[in-house]
A and B are shown apart, each in its own frame.
Chain A
Amino acid sequence: MDWAILWECRAALAGGLAITLAVSVLAIVGATIAGVLVGCLRGSGVYLLQRMTATYTELLRNLPLIVKLFFLYFVIGLPALPAALAALVLHQSAYIADVTEAGLRSVGRGQLDAGLSLGLKRWQVYRRIILPQTVRVMLPPMTSQYVSVIKNTSVVALIGVADLTFQTQQINVETFRGFEAATAATLLYMLVAGAVIAGMTRLQRRQTMVR
C-alpha cells in the first residue's frame, strides 16, 4: 500500500474533481429544468401531453445511461462534453419529472380553489401558495436525484472526459496503484455528494421556517 502516490498525483485528482464538479452542476441545473418542465406538462391534465411525456419517461428510464451516452457520442456525433451533459440531463429528467408530478399531485386541489375564492389571480395562487408547498414536498426526493446525477457523472470517463473516475484509471495504468487511487476518488465523490446533501438540507430547513 503506497499512499504517498496520491500526493504525487494530486494534480490529476484535483483536475478530475474540478471536471466532476463542473459536469455535476451543469447536469443538475439542466436536468432540473427539463424534469420540472416535463413533470408540469404531465400533471397538466391534458391527455395528449400526458401521453407524450409518459412515452418520454418510459423510453428514457428503460435504457441504461451508457447506452444513451454512447449513442449521443458515437452515433449522433456530439462532442464529448455536450454528449455527456445531454445524456445526463435526458437520463435524470425522466426521474425528476416523476418527482415533480408526485409533488404537484400531493398539493391538494383545494389549495387552488381556496386561493381563487380569496380573490387571487391564478398565477398569484401558483406563485404564493402552490409552488412553495410543492417545492417543500419535493426537496427530499430531489436531493436523492441530485446525488444520483453526481454519481452518474462518473460514466463520462468512458468517452474520454478527464473526470475523477478517468483519473483513477490513469493513475492505475501509470503506477499500478489502482486501489489507493480508487479509495481517494471514492472519498472525494462522497465529499461532493455530502456537500449537496448538506446544502439541500439547509434549504429544506429554511423552507420549513418560512411557513
Chain B
Amino acid sequence: MRNLRRIAVLVSVLALGLCGFAGTARADSTLQTVLKRGEFLAGITADSPPSAYLDAQGRQVGYCADVARYLARRLGVKLTFVPVTAASRIPLLTTGRIDAEVAVTTPQKVRNEVVDFTYSYIWDNGVLLVHAGASTKPEDYQTPSKTIGAVQGDGFIDRWKLVSPSAKFQLFHEASDVAGALRKGDVDAAIVNQNAAVLFVRAGGMAMTSPWTNSPDAIMVRQDDSKWRNWLDWALQRMWVEGTLQKLYVKWFAVEPSFSLGDYGQIQPRVMEIGKTGDPWNKLPDGFLDTLLGPESWKLD
C-alpha cells in the first residue's frame, strides 16, 4: 500500500514536471506559421533551367516549381512564389520573407553556418559549357590561357579555383549574359550545372564537357527549425515512395535520378505513417497529379 502511494506520488511529480517542460513556449516552427497563415512562401529563382526558370510567357516553371506546388497542396495551403536571386536568397530566408527556398542551392559548410538544408533532391554536376567542336575535357580549360565565364557569386567559382588556381575569370551579372558572352567568344568556357548545360547544348552551337564536380541541391530552411525541416524531409521521402519525385525528375531532366533519397540512399522506415498532429498530409484532389506531371503544371497556381 505504501509503495503504491510512493509510485503514485512519483508518477504525478514526473507528470507535472513534464507538463512544466511542455509549458515552456518554444518559438513557432515555420510549419505552424505556414499552416496558420494558409500560405506557403516559396523562394524560387528564375534563371536556373530546367530546375527553376520562367517560360516564354513569364510563368514560373521547372522541377523545383512543381515540387513546391506538390508540397503546398499536401500542406493544404496556398502557394506563393517569391522570386529570389543568388544574392538575396539567404537574407530573404533569415528575415522571414520566405518560408523555404525551393530552388538550386548546394549545401555547403559556409551556408550551413547560417541556414539548414533538407535532403538533396537534385543530384547535379558541374560542367563547362564550350563551343561546339571544342575540347570536352575539363582539364583542357585549366590552363591560364583560357578565360572562364561565370555569374558573380556563383558557388562553382571557388570550387573551380581549387581545381585550377591560376584560372582567369570574366564575371557577369546574370546567367544569360554569360551564355551570350560564350556565344560571341569573349570567354572560352562557362561554368554551369549539367542540367542547364543540357538545355544550352540542345539550343545549338554549344557543347559541354564531362563533369568536373558534383553539385547536389537541397531545399533551404532557417537554422534550427527542425520541425519544418523534418516535415519537408518526410514529404520528399513520401514523394519518392509514391514515385512522384522520380516522375518529376524524368519530366524535367529526362533521366532517372541517379540517387535515392534519405540517409545513405535509404528511406527512413515508417515514413509513410501519416496523420499524427504536426504532420499534415492532405489528400490530393483528383487530376492534380496528372496536371502536375503534364506539360502545363503552371495551371495549378
Asked if chains A and B are in direct contact (CB within 8 A), the reply is yes
Residues of chain A at the chain B interface (Cβ within 8 Å): 73-74, 77, 79-80, 157-160, 162, 166, 169-170, 172-174, 176, 178
Interface residues of B in 21-80 (CB under 8 A from A): none
CA separation between A174 and B173, bound complex, in Å?
14
Binding site for A on B (CB under 8 A): 86-87, 90-91, 152-153, 170-173, 177, 180-181, 184, 186
Report yes or no: A80 in contact with B171, Cβ–Cβ below 8 A.
Answer: no
Contact of A176 among B91, B152, B170, B171 (CB under 8 A): B91
Shortest distance from the beta carbon of A187 to any chain B beta carbon, whole Å: 22
Query: Are B184 and A158 in contact (CB-based, < 8 A)?
Result: no
CB-CB < 8 A to B184: which residues of A?
73-74, 77
- B177 proximity list for chain A (CB < 8 A): 74, 158-160
Q: Which residues of A have CB within 8 Å of B90?
A: 176
Which residues in A have their C-beta under 8 angstroms from that of B181? 160
Complex Cα distance, B271 from A28, in Å, reads: 67
Q: Which of A80, A157, A173, A176 contacts B186 (CB 8 A)?
A: A80
Taking A74-B177, A159-B172, A173-B86 as known contacts, 19 extra A-B pairs with beta carbons closer than 8 A to each other, sorted by chain A number, are A73-B184, A74-B180, A77-B184, A158-B172, A160-B170, A160-B171, A160-B172, A160-B181, A160-B186, A162-B171, A166-B152, A166-B171, A169-B87, A169-B152, A170-B153, A173-B87, A173-B152, A176-B91, A178-B87
Cα A73 to Cα B187 in complex, Å, equals 13
Q: Which residue of A lies closest to B173 (CB)?
A: A158
Contact A170 B173 (CB under 8 A): no
Task: Write the chain A residue with the least CB distance to B114.
Answer: A176
Query: Contacts A74-B184, A80-B186, A169-B152 hold; do A157 and B87 have CB atoms under 8 A apart?
Result: no
B87 / chain A contacts, CB cutoff of 8 Å: 169, 172-173, 178
| Min distance, Cβ B87 to any Cβ of chain A, angstroms | 5
Can you pick out 26 interface pairs between chain A and chain B where the beta carbons lie within 8 Å of each other? Answer: A73-B184, A74-B177, A79-B186, A80-B186, A159-B172, A159-B177, A160-B170, A160-B171, A160-B172, A160-B177, A160-B181, A162-B171, A166-B152, A166-B171, A169-B87, A169-B152, A169-B173, A170-B153, A170-B171, A172-B153, A173-B86, A173-B87, A173-B152, A173-B153, A174-B153, A178-B87
In the bound assembly, the distance between CA atoms of A162 and B91 in angstroms comes to 25
Interchain nearest-CB distance for B150 vs A (Å): 10
Closest to A161 in B: B170
Given the contacts A77-B184, A159-B177, A170 and B172 also touching, CB distance less than 8 Å: no
The answer for the CA separation of A150 and B238 in the assembled complex, in Å, is 57
Q: Chain B: which residue is nearest A77 at the CB level?
A: B184
Contact of A170 among B91, B152, B170 (CB under 8 A): B152
Which 6 A-B residue pairs are closest in the complex by CB-CB distance? A173-B153, A74-B180, A77-B184, A160-B172, A158-B173, A160-B170
